[in-house]
Amino acid sequence: MERRKKQLVKRIGIFDSGAGGLTVLKELKASISGVKYYYLGDTARLPYGTKSSETIIRYTKQNAAFLIGKKIDVLIVACNTASAYAIPELRKFAADIPVTGVIHPGAKRAAKMTENGKIGIIGTRATISSGKYQKELKELDPDFRVFTNPAPLLVPLVEEGMVTGEVTEKLISMYLEPLLRKRIDTLILGCTHYPLLKQTIHEMYPGIMLVDSAEPIRDILLAGYEFPSGNGKTEIYVTDYPEGFGLLSHRFLEGNFDKIEHIDLQKLWKASNGTKIKKTK
């Protein structure tokens, strides 16, 4: 049988409500180095996890429009909340490029990992109440027992860079103990910020298998596309002031990016009349 040639991907767009998606970017950069990455952190409007689905969809479309303006070949929605609510809308809006969210890949990974079929999920309130992870897991195996707990306070902790220490550990145990009492063996870190706490969670609960979005997304890309070799550039855009974000970017990407710039997304969106944003360098 003739093998279908894989699409060559030269530019990847990734967005998150803030810094959490840098974990996905880092993983991708480590394995797929030749593409040009455009990362957008919608820091001015973070958190998404407390917003209505209408608002999340609106913000998400604007983020996508900006990245599409950069002529990306693939769009990664590295935000669980946006993935929970906006993927069908985005696939209509960005119909000419593949759109990958984080929920399906994360659920698949957890389904593969669990041994006792008891899976815990933490995420923003919006992600947990969307029921998307729960639905995906039940579709993969109706016998799975799924336990959830929203863990909203972990987001500002990570944005503050507080990924270790007494306060962080207290909050983690407050959110995880109810799930551990159900004897889960696998925990989905269902928010792009939580992987930054992975080490701390692992040290606190070494017996629990942790699932984050970065590796499953990388595997989907590697399986589905071809990439140029070499060293591509990475541009970071933020909707609020870039200083604090720059520090986080330096920490997580070890300075491995080419620029960080503020954009006025609302203004660009208005100027584009609600279509793909073209007026970007």
Residues with a catalytic annotation lie at: 79, 191
Q: Are β-strands 234-238 and 36-41 bridged in parallel, bridged antiparallel, or unpaired?
A: parallel
CB closer to ligand DGL, 60 vs 80:
80
Q: Which long-range contacts (CB under 8 A, 24 or more apart) does 219-222 make?
A: 219/105, 220/100, 220/105, 221/9, 221/12, 221/28, 221/32, 221/74, 221/100, 222/31, 222/32
Pair of tokens at residue 176:
């995880």
CB closer to ligand DGL, 47 vs 120:
47
Sole window of 1-9, 31-39, 66-74, 186-194 interacting with ligand DGL (rule: CB under 6 A): 186-194
* Residue from 51, 18, 14 nearest 36 by CA: 14
One of 29, 193, 227, 260 touching ligand DGL (CB under 6 A): 193
Under the binding rule (CB under 6 A), the answer on residue 191 touching ligand DGL is yes
CB closer to ligand DGL, 105 vs 232:
105
CB closer to ligand DGL, 20 vs 242:
20
Distance in angstroms (rounded) separating the CA atoms of residues 192 and 213: 7
Closest approach, Cβ 116 to ligand DGL, in A, equals 26
DSSP one-letter code for 191: S
Q: Of 17-56, which residues contact ligand DGL (CB under 6 A)? A: 17-18, 20, 46-49
Under the binding rule (CB under 6 A), the answer on residue 101 touching ligand DGL is no
Under the binding rule (CB under 6 A), the answer on residue 151 touching ligand DGL is no
Q: Alpha carbon 178 to chain centroid distance?
A: 25
Any bridge partners for residue 139, and if so which? none
One of 23, 81, 148, 249 touching ligand DGL (CB under 6 A): 81
* Residue from 20, 174, 26, 179 nearest 114 by CA: 179
One of 23, 114, 124, 239 touching ligand DGL (CB under 6 A): 124
CB closer to ligand DGL, 9 vs 86:
86
Distance in angstroms (rounded) separating the CA atoms of residues 116 and 146: 11
DSSP one-letter code for 5: P
| 135: amino acid identity, one letter | K
One of 127, 148, 168, 239 touching ligand DGL (CB under 6 A): 127
- Applying CB under 6 A, which residues contact ligand DGL? 16-18, 20, 46-49, 79-81, 124, 127, 155, 191-193
